[in-house]
Copies of this chain bind each other. A is one copy, B any other.
């Protein structure tokens, strides 16, 4: 089942069920007005939404045309956005470029940060860039949307708390990172609003590619129409289940919490990159200095994930950088 949130003039939009084609949908208002309300009562909402989805694909309910421009983020505002950094090649590469050692315990103690979740950008919404000197970068990620997670949940019990998956562009302002991290309290201004893919999908939409709390498919990233990355998301060191155990160590999480993988990244440089800072790091190591510039107004970043049959599971997250209005 694939779900999306259609623009209707409200803060949370209208929940719709998406057809297999990706270009048609049916309103889910008979089940739940918004995705958050469905997540709040998932046990009863899920079977009703699945039934609606089956009716849509069999032509038993009227399909309405669906364009990505009609869509808000699946969750236009969420109660938490927790982002991991579970692809260790990303951490190692970025640290190596600045001559630093990877942090101790990198492969046993997950790195996560708490991001802002009040304003999540839709799948075709421009990213407003007020100052190009901030060094805007994209970060292609996969994320899960959780149900209620009690404090103390262990990895082996975490699978049922994963309700949906989405793709994420975790925009980052690289120029603001060093000064901010040196203050010791983590990212804040250097992590602006985050963009989500058109569709949020149940794990079964990924078939056998979703196993062990990881998605074993390549994440396609294009910059201005040119393919820059095809990294295998299955190379995630900590699974989503392990990340859930980590974040639930000292507190609980409510339904609708977004948990990200961190930038999808592979050891093999032939797989390309899911963010520019990795390419700049390789240039630094190989050429002595970075050559690839950060993003500027007009640049376009597309992120999508095709399954083994070439089906565009999450739709295409397709955003341009715009000057702030």
Q: Which residues of chain A have a CB within 8 Å of any CB of chain B?
A: 11, 40, 77-80, 82, 85, 103, 109, 111-119, 128, 130, 134, 151-152, 173, 176, 181-190, 192-193, 246-247, 249-254, 256-257, 324
Whether the Cβ atoms of B118 and A253 lie closer than 8 Å is yes
Given contacts A118-B257, A252-B193, A254-B11, contact A186 B113 (CB under 8 A): yes
Whether the Cβ atoms of B118 and A80 lie closer than 8 Å is yes
> Of B187, B252, B256, which contacts A186 at CB under 8 A?
B187
In the bound assembly, the distance between CA atoms of A316 and B65 in angstroms comes to 54
> Of B40, B118, B151, B257, which contacts A130 at CB under 8 A?
B151
In the bound assembly, the distance between CA atoms of A195 and B189 in angstroms comes to 25
Whether the Cβ atoms of B250 and A130 lie closer than 8 Å is yes
Given contacts A79-B79, A187-B185, contact A192 B251 (CB under 8 A): yes
Whether the Cβ atoms of B193 and A116 lie closer than 8 Å is no
Further pairs besides A109-B183, A185-B187: 7, Cβ < 8 Å: A77-B254, A78-B79, A113-B188, A114-B187, A118-B252, A130-B152, A186-B187
In the complex, what residues of B have CB within 8 A of residue A128's CB? 151
How distant is A146 from chain B, measured CB to nearest CB, in Å? Answer: 9
Instruction: Write the chain B residue with the least CB distance to A103.
Output: B183
In the complex, what residues of B have CB within 8 A of residue A112's CB? 185, 188
- Closest 3 pairs (CB-CB, A-B): A186-B186, A118-B254, A79-B118
How distant is A150 from chain B, measured CB to nearest CB, in Å? Answer: 10
Q: Which of A112, A188, A193, A252 has the most CB of B within 10 A?
A: A188
